[in-house]
Amino acid sequence: MPCHMVCSTRNIETVVATGLIFVKEGGQIMTEKDQPDPERMKVLRSLPAEITKTLTKEEVNAFLFDDKWPDSLKEKLKDYMV
């Protein structure tokens, strides 16, 4: 069953039937070129829920978009890194 998410930006509600919507600071929806690498997203989704629940917004953004991760993220994922 597809995931449904409602995102409110500037009083406009958008229902997305597949995947996730990423919202920039200020509430603007990211364009396709701003979207994370599909492989990184696949890995993030495959992590156990008890790990993903502990990740902060900054750590998730670092995981999806940055080549250098904060120490806190490395520590949380140390058992999953090769």
Binned average pLDDT, 10 residues per bin, the chain of 82 residues: 38 39 63 78 93 93 92 95 84
pLDDT for residue 21: 58
Taking CA atoms, 53 is separated from 9, 59, 67, in Å, by 25, 11, 22
pLDDT for residue 22: 60
pLDDT for residue 78: 95
Cα–Cα distance measured from residue 48 to residue 24, given in angstroms and rounded to the nearest whole number: 25
Can you give the pTM of this predicted structure? 0.61
Q: Which of 17, 22, 20, 14 is nearest to 4 (CA)?
A: 17
